[in-house]
Structure 1
């Protein structure tokens, strides 16, 4: 199997965990006595880690600063056996999200980020396009941090090389994702672009309308506690109820869905079946604390029938 190419915004998630026993005398805020600090990979890097946990080989492209956070992120990728191929530059600042946590409850989040220089975004785009002939599946993980500044160009290049592109979008400009094979907005993102809906019929109408406008083969809308909806060209919509048992932390759940889709599709499983696996994976990962992944053993993929016995319609 060819490796899956992941392109997008990477970040380092730091967790400062401890106890709160008093209020600060300087201001009416709790004092967190930090007892443990951990680092996890977020954004596109979390997508890559989820893919590896499921058994895929991954190449990851992103923008990373020549700083301590960038070195930490590179170390996490090495531990995860990910082929990490970042564009590094002294002018880049590695994105960091620091979460102060007491008893698994966030007290505060602190973000460090800055827009990347245009030359770095161009370098990343050219590197990605050069690598596309070596891949069949391309994942664009957009957190609106700047790495995918030439997103439309990446999609056009992928189509020329016969790659199928799956996109996790961000922001209001969905036109930049035109021509992708599959777009995966959540409910809030779809509502911001297409307006609200009162029932399932209106939701499906808006989803089909957006899919047609952007010339997508498939649009998958994740609806949180209401499950998922898949709308495909010339096919009836597939509506899946949620498989969440208990919501503990939704951080990175979209990354898990994107990774599970790509992993199962790359192994010949049909799209509708792949969406069911992704729905199950989302229900597992939201029961974990912080940015996390789901293994093939947890998901039960190891016990799944071979691809030849699964309906491949829609892939």
Structure 2
């Protein structure tokens, strides 16, 4: 049995960001590149479309997108990540710093920066190319030392795991963060969440949760499986994003709550999970109660999926969306 949160309920729909505590983001930063063009013919060499590329553009992806969204939402954010010593690493560094994020990167001179290249036509993806390589052991050791140095100054810590290697020692980072009294929010990856045990909040999507717990037949079984997962991993909170079905929150000692989706139009889900995590952390760091922060993250998700590609949501956009939702909730029923 789940309680349904109303979409309204936050005070005037605001983010009191001026008093926000700083947020430390740790995870797999990557360069998202878009080859944008037109398709007018099929290749004579193979039954594949030929993309006549008109231009290329780049955006900060992965953990870098989380940090960029935090900055766009008015938070003070610092990103710890790993980059190669290549042109892609230089481009990603520039994008991160231009977004207003403090970058603390460990760079490996001979390594290749993680990249996702998307060939697109008329805002539709034709192909994605992934470029990545394992993180050198010395770079991983340097990353862990850097995080340990920064934890005391950051009450809120966000771990963005894309399984590219930055969070290979996630369990140790969590232990260090707890010892410093940090509240840790995790966006997980993979079919085993044991390395995230003890986090303050874990935010899988429905598909990721099902890979760990197995599938369910109805909401009652879903709630039972999620509560068991939360308890087993010793999480204070488990927030499951469910696409068009909204979000479900499971908290220790409290009934489960559900909030309906705020999305009116789904254009592209790329990076939407990053935006949810960033908005949640931004609201919490600004002093909002968890339920209000979940509403804020839900509103941000609705904005993110209406944009093409890896995108950021601004503080002004979120303020407007939350205010509109609050106004609609106050209108008399017909």
User: One fold, TM greater than 0.5?
Assistant: yes
Structure 1 CA distance for aligned equivalents of residues 25 and 97 of structure 2: 15
Structure 2 CA distance for aligned equivalents of residues 301 and 218 of structure 1: 28
Change beyond 3 A, Cα 1:291–1:178: same
Structure 2 CA distance for aligned equivalents of residues 257 and 126 of structure 1: 28
| RMSD over equivalenced CA pairs, Å | 1.2
Match of residue 111, structure 2, among 70, 92, 97 = 92
Trace 1:55-94 onto structure 2 (pairs within 5 A).
Answer: 55-94=74-113
Shift of 1:261: 0.6
Structure 2 CA distance for aligned equivalents of residues 277 and 56 of structure 1: 14
> When the two structures are aligned, how many residues end up with a matched partner?
304
SS of match in other structure, 1:255: helix
Match of residue 229, structure 2, among 205, 210, 217 = 210
SS of match in other structure, 1:166: strand
SS of match in other structure, 2:113: coil
SS of match in other structure, 1:62: strand
Trace 1:77-156 onto structure 2 (pairs within 5 A).
Answer: 77-156=96-175
TM-score (norm 1): 0.94
* Structure 1 gaps, min length 5: 305-315
Structure 1 CA distance for aligned equivalents of residues 166 and 59 of structure 2: 20
Structure 1 CA distance for aligned equivalents of residues 127 and 194 of structure 2: 34
Q: Residue 205 of structure 2 contacts residue 241 of structure 2 at CA under 8 Å; is this kept in 1?
A: yes
Shift of 1:250: 0.2
Q: Residue 187 of structure 1 contacts residue 223 of structure 1 at CA under 8 Å; is this kept in 2?
A: yes
Shift of 1:122: 1.6
The aligned residue for residue 307 of structure 1 is: none
Trace 1:274-285 onto structure 2 (pairs within 5 A).
Answer: 274-285=293-304
Matched, 1:179 2:191: no
Structure 1 CA distance for aligned equivalents of residues 96 and 321 of structure 2: 24
Matched, 1:239 2:258: yes
Per-residue CA deviation, residues 224-276 of structure 1 (Å, 9 max, x unaligned), is: 11110000000011111111111100000000000011100011100011001
Matched, 1:266 2:285: yes
Q: Residue 296 of structure 1 contacts residue 302 of structure 1 at CA under 8 Å; is this kept in 2?
A: no
The aligned residue for residue 195 of structure 1 is: 214
Match of residue 62, structure 2, among 43, 52, 58 = 43
Shift of 1:302: 9.9
Structure 2 CA distance for aligned equivalents of residues 102 and 35 of structure 1: 10
Q: Residue 299 of structure 2 contacts residue 321 of structure 2 at CA under 8 Å; is this kept in 1?
A: no
Shift of 1:119: 1.7
Change beyond 3 A, Cα 1:75–1:210: same
* Structure 2 gaps, min length 5: 1-19, 324-334
Q: Which has the higher contact order (CA 8 A, sep 6+)?
A: 2
Structure 2 CA distance for aligned equivalents of residues 71 and 301 of structure 1: 35
The aligned residue for residue 309 of structure 1 is: none
Shift of 1:303: 7.8
The aligned residue for residue 187 of structure 2 is: 168
Per-residue CA deviation, residues 160-204 of structure 1 (Å, 9 max, x unaligned), is: 001000000001221100100000000011100000011111111
Runs of 4+ in 1 over 6 A off after TM superposition: 301-304
Per-residue CA deviation, residues 31-84 of structure 1 (Å, 9 max, x unaligned), is: 111011100000000000100110001110001000010000001012111110
Q: Residue 299 of structure 2 contacts residue 322 of structure 2 at CA under 8 Å; is this kept in 1?
A: no
